[in-house]
Structure 1
Amino acid sequence: MKYEKEAQEILEYVGGSENIKTVTHCATRLRFTLKNDELVKEEALKNLADVIGTVNQGGQFQIIIGNDVKYVYKALQQFVNISEENDTGVNENKTVLNKVLDTVAGIFVPIVPALAGSGMLKAVLAIVALLGWINTDGQTYQILNFVSDAIFYFLPMLLAHSASVKFGTNPYLSITIGGILLHPTFTAMITNARETGGTIQLFGLPVTPVNYGSSVIPIILTIWFMSFIEPFVDKIVPKVTRIFSTPLITLFIVAPVALIVIGPLGTFLGDGLAGGIRWLDNYASWLIPMVVGTFTPLLVMTGMHYALISIGINSLAKFGFDTVAGPGMLVSNIAQGGAVLAVALRSKNMKLRSLGISTGISAVLGITEPALYGINLTYRKPLYSAMIGGGLGGLFLGIMGVGRYQQVPPGILALPSFIGEDGLSNLTYTIIGIVIAFVGAFVSQLFLGIDDKEDTIIENEEATIDPQTAPEVGARESISVTSPMAGQVLSLSQVNDDVFSQKLLGEGLAIVPKDGLIYAPFDGVISVFLESKHAIGIVGSNGVELLIHCGLDTVNLIGEGFVSHVNKGDTVKKGDLLLEMDIAYIRSKHLETTTPILVTNTKDYLEVLPTTEEEVQVGEVVLSIE
């Protein structure tokens, strides 16, 4: 309910569906490619409850949500209607750099989860092997090892798909091109040519014996080339034969060009990039990690960190060792966590302190956008502290030649990816580096502080109660919420839905109803009541905002099985009949009738305590709110 409302508001403030070319999301942000940025109402967006901030960089308009972004995105999908017309005439006067960054981000963002999962599995295997908990010659280890390696070997095929989405080519034809580069027969021909000194020829032209497993640049360039060939072929072939003639001719042109020209060229560029980085590592090993550690927050703001990630992946593919993205971004994230935690320690504002603790923990775990946009950029000095700490940590890692061996998100949980073949020395230096980064940022922020003027602004925003009339501390009375229905009581952790079980919408409990009759638990106003009738929001005269969600996934019934007795905006009295739910009908549709009852403004109270009773009747107290 909460996310649906917010998604509708976001859609309105970005200019509606007709202004959206594409929309996707990463770990913390909605990423829009818009037709006209001038239609965006940024201030209205920033005022939404779950929006931390907005960024318009790299050809994308980004809305920073935080860890709940996937729920907002899912809700947004219900309302976004993107037509093919939205893709036309959209140039937006982007610079070449912005177009490149937008392309790189669009290609790599979709595959990051798969890279992270496989990388973490590889890192865990390194730990258990180091501790002697698994026989590295055994089949179990070998199978898990190739499971963790699969994505990296077949990386060209994944990149082919994401590049096809970005460049507008047929995704399955693009994957086929990726498969051609990795085909066992071609791989065997490469091996034979290298061992015997022979050659590979296609139509009498030489094919460079290059192994494309784990490669990055060749397939991206190839699909970019294909984006010109495929539409051209589609225009010139007869319409009645397009279903087979377009892919046939496209493959006949693109595959040879990829094997003879683009593949070797992309490999040369990738090797040149990796060689340049290796040269810098040999002559100024401290430089890259220090620069990355210092400026990663600014790179994240512009979207350039995805270009950095792609370079790191290329280094891993070439050398099995990344000194570019991994080390510097790790200490930068840790430093951002240190800076905002120092803000939380020093601030007297409870709201800012709470934000600092939550975003600090998130940053240390590798998700920095909430800290970056919620505190660091807002107050500036925490940003400077994070850059100081990240630079110091990166400098140490660079001097010690630290690198990572797997592509994993750069946070504290990524430490296993720094375990190398030389034992624990690389990991030990990494731990020292993140300690330097954290302490450097933390101490710097304690020294720099936050401008009193800026801190006062937040204090004043919360000072809505006249100190002369405010009640004394401890005088606040407990609020009792009675049960709107009869049935079996469950804790939220027992609810078979992550949104409720993880308490993302607030504290409360759930009831498995006996008769399906839902009554008003207190006097108030119906604040939310959708056409699907599956959920009711009530704002009580006691200040409690309560959500009664009748069943799980019952929104899909589109109102069937429910009889409403109220409408949105109605004033109700405690005990009024609000809704009837047909339990038998809902269960016949293989849906659960479990009804979560949540205090959605939980943050306004010290605690929300559910009843310890196993069963309740209508009117019995189920929640005590302090």
Structure 2
Amino acid sequence: MSVQDSAKQIYEGVGGEGNINYLTHCVTRLRFRLKDESKVDDAKMKQIPGVMGINHQNGQYQVIIGNAVSDYYAAVVKLGNFPTDENSDASATATAAPAEKSGNLFDRFTNFISSCMSPLIPALIGGGMIKVVLILLTTLHWMSATGQTYTILSVFGDAPFYFLPIELAITASKYFKVNQMMAVIAGAILIHPNFIKLVNLGKPVHLMGLPVTLASYSSSVIPILLIVWFMKYLEMFLEKYLPASLKSILKPLLEIFIVGVIGLVVIGPISTWAGDLLSWIVLFINKHASWLAMPLMAAFMPLIVMTGMHWAFAPIFLAASVATPDSLILPAMLAANLAQGAASLAVAIKTKNKNTRQVASAASISAFLAGVTEPALYGVSLKYKKPLYAVMISGAVSGLYMGIVHLKSFAFAIPSLLSLPQFVNAKYFSNIINAVFVAVISIVLTFILTMVFGFKDDPDPSASKTVAPAAAGASASATATVEQTSSTVASGAKTTKKVFSPVKGELITMESVNDATFAQKMLGDGAAVIPEDNHFYAPFDGVIETVFPTKHAIGLKSDTGIEVLIHIGLDTVELKGKYYTAHVEANQRVKKGDLLMDADLDAIKKAGYDTTTPVVVTNTKDFVEIQPSDKTQVTNDDPLFYVV
């Protein structure tokens, strides 16, 4: 299924434009803020192709996608008109529903930080990786640290961090729905060259007699976020009390003046002191009990990522990596990220299921090379649980070693094998050696533990499965073996063939169909699907025998002799082809997965028809038995039933 199709299902699954307050995304997740999360069916959402999992976190409905999240984000944005990173404007969304207020104060604060930081992560990763490359080039003496090329490339790497106040002004203005350009001006005031010059002189600075704290706000996070929060209430006040005739002039004038004064005299200093205190506490704990702090952080990092709170820690490790080396968060992420990669690699090697091997292999590469662990976490570790235990144990052991040697990161980059140069520093040559040692411990120990612990593997697609006799009293010889592969294989004197589902949806037995003709198997045996997608695909390789003039049904014959009728909806012959679009014609050859028909299911339902789709083997008498799949949710990649 294409990204566009999956995006449409996601969009419809969350309730469409009418239920979406706001949408943003981070490295791996679509982050919706919905009016009513109870309208979303989590189980159906998880079944959408491309969706690795969902998470409810602090007022956000998070849909975990993985590395392709930006493609899904762009596709969803095209489907409706709602506030997003690209189109949100305070003036245009004044009547939009307010941000969620659920959760305790800490939850709401971390949600605020995470929501504002998430859109910036790609830029921060890009800048961080440039800094990593520069560290590597200068350490290997392939580039001079005094040359112009180095200086300009340093500008490339530093820009995303230096201008953080302006970047965060944009995201925070969307969060609080304040005037975006006014928020940008507030960020610009904090890092204006003339103000920075006054700070660098080191002499007392006053604004209209009020003391201004000598603080540098470049690369800062908290000050601008608090200033934009203040702007929300200031704009409400000005909007209410300024006379309409003068509002267009007085409002921007007063807003810039008041925000500038309050920002430099009150909010900036308070947030600076609070940030210094928080950094001091974190560094104090890490300095005096790093042997405990580090293993705990590394062990529980997967759970922190699972809640989506890992970017809520961004202000701490950003401040650390910009001003001083980070000796807590980023080293802990190194151990945890590589452990996830190793666990996925072990599962890929140990599993006998081809699909699991593909998912685990891709997740392993993502974690090892990019430090993106959501595919491994949601596709492997959490799914099988025991690999997660291995990851956490390995994290604790690696963390203990990191705490003892005081491992430090000297650049902000998502820790992975490719970003190991972030641990390089000419003054601390042993640091990179310790980082490599941590990587080895994490990978080897997790791999071994995962192999030892094992996991409950999914059924092997090529393994056999016993099917019950077709009728009571049948002899043991009537029992068949079902090969769950796309090919036909011998099983004694009988063979078993696969018929895949033509559409994504819920599998039900033929007896459950609300139509006596099908339920009593007058046309033949088979199974039925309650479709969740408008697209119907070929269930095998074969030939189209019939496309009914009313398009509601298609007859096919497989290359192995199975004759199938796909009947899209019950009594839908009465629609006379309305809401159906055929993509094939009689006598046309098709391959499994080729598009056969589009049906507007919503329109069919509104017209009063049941969309249940029976798939009938019309030459049932030629076979021993039709055995439905034991799955409850199917796609075109899943068997609907087995023909013995």
TM tier, shorter chain? 0.7 to 0.9
Mapped partners of 1:574, 1:411: distance in 2: 50
- 1:361 counterpart = 2:365: yes
Mapped partners of 1:113, 1:182: distance in 2: 22
1:156 match: 165
1:176 match: 185
User: Which structure 2 segments of 5+ residues have no match?
Assistant: 84-92, 468-479, 498-540, 548-555, 561-579, 591-634, 639-644
> CA shift at 1:118, angstroms?
0.9
2:279 is aligned, of 274, 278, 281, to 274
Mapped partners of 2:335, 2:545: distance in 1: 50
Larger gyration radius, structure 1 or structure 2 = 2
- 1:188 counterpart = 2:202: no
- 1:37 counterpart = 2:42: no
Taking a change above 3 Å as real, the CA distance of residues 526 and 58 of structure 1, as seen in their structure-2 partners, is farther
1:217 match: 222
Taking a change above 3 Å as real, the CA distance of residues 387 and 238 of structure 1, as seen in their structure-2 partners, is same
Taking a change above 3 Å as real, the CA distance of residues 203 and 572 of structure 1, as seen in their structure-2 partners, is farther
Do the aligned partners of 1:526 and 1:567 also contact (CA within 8 Å) in 2? no
RMSD between superposed Cα atoms in Å: 3.3
Aligned runs of 1:56-135 on 2, under 5 Å? 56-82=56-82, 84=93, 87-88=96-97, 91=100, 93-135=102-144
- 1:568 counterpart = 2:582: yes
1:471 is aligned, of 480, 488, 491, to 488
Do the aligned partners of 1:57 and 1:301 also contact (CA within 8 Å) in 2? no
Mapped partners of 2:133, 2:240: distance in 1: 51
Mapped partners of 1:22, 1:421: distance in 2: 46
DSSP-derived class of the 1:571 partner = coil
Mapped partners of 1:117, 1:280: distance in 2: 30
**What whole-Å deviation, never above 9, does each CA across 1:86-122 have from its counterpart, x for those lacking one?**
8326646333233222211111111111111111111
- 1:345 counterpart = 2:341: no
Aligned runs of 1:208-287 on 2, under 5 Å? 208-287=213-292
Taking a change above 3 Å as real, the CA distance of residues 332 and 201 of structure 1, as seen in their structure-2 partners, is same
Mapped partners of 1:280, 1:91: distance in 2: 33
DSSP-derived class of the 1:21 partner = strand
Aligned runs of 1:420-439 on 2, under 5 Å? 420-439=425-444
2:333 is aligned, of 323, 329, 332, to 329
2:529 match: none
**Normalization by structure 2: what TM-score?**
0.71
Corresponding residue pairs, total: 498
User: Which structure 1 segments of 5+ residues have no match?
Assistant: 478-520, 528-538, 544-565, 577-600, 605-626
Taking a change above 3 Å as real, the CA distance of residues 201 and 51 of structure 1, as seen in their structure-2 partners, is same
Amino acid at match of 2:481: P
Aligned runs of 1:376-391 on 2, under 5 Å? 376-391=381-396
DSSP-derived class of the 2:33 partner = strand
> CA shift at 1:461, angstroms?
11
> CA shift at 1:163, angstroms?
1.4
Mapped partners of 2:398, 2:242: distance in 1: 59
**What whole-Å deviation, never above 9, does each CA across 1:249-293 have from its counterpart, x for those lacking one?**
111111111111111111111111111222123212223321221
Taking a change above 3 Å as real, the CA distance of residues 13 and 117 of structure 1, as seen in their structure-2 partners, is same
Do the aligned partners of 1:19 and 1:86 also contact (CA within 8 Å) in 2? no
Do the aligned partners of 1:35 and 1:92 also contact (CA within 8 Å) in 2? no
Taking a change above 3 Å as real, the CA distance of residues 152 and 49 of structure 1, as seen in their structure-2 partners, is closer
DSSP-derived class of the 2:282 partner = helix
1:300 is aligned, of 302, 305, 327, to 305
Do the aligned partners of 1:526 and 1:568 also contact (CA within 8 Å) in 2? no
Aligned runs of 1:481-520 on 2, under 5 Å? none
Amino acid at match of 1:346: K
Do the aligned partners of 2:298 and 2:336 also contact (CA within 8 Å) in 1? yes
Do the aligned partners of 1:160 and 1:220 also contact (CA within 8 Å) in 2? yes
Do the aligned partners of 2:322 and 2:411 also contact (CA within 8 Å) in 1? no
Mapped partners of 1:81, 1:328: distance in 2: 40
User: Percent of counterpart pairs with the same letter?
Assistant: 36
Taking a change above 3 Å as real, the CA distance of residues 217 and 317 of structure 1, as seen in their structure-2 partners, is farther
Mapped partners of 2:175, 2:290: distance in 1: 35
Mapped partners of 1:87, 1:219: distance in 2: 23
Mapped partners of 1:88, 1:526: distance in 2: 52
> CA shift at 1:326, angstroms?
0.7
DSSP-derived class of the 1:66 partner = coil
1:46 match: 46
Taking a change above 3 Å as real, the CA distance of residues 458 and 42 of structure 1, as seen in their structure-2 partners, is farther
Do the aligned partners of 1:292 and 1:325 also contact (CA within 8 Å) in 2? yes
Mapped partners of 2:460, 2:36: distance in 1: 33
DSSP-derived class of the 2:9 partner = helix
Taking a change above 3 Å as real, the CA distance of residues 161 and 92 of structure 1, as seen in their structure-2 partners, is closer
Amino acid at match of 2:216: N
Mapped partners of 2:16, 2:166: distance in 1: 34
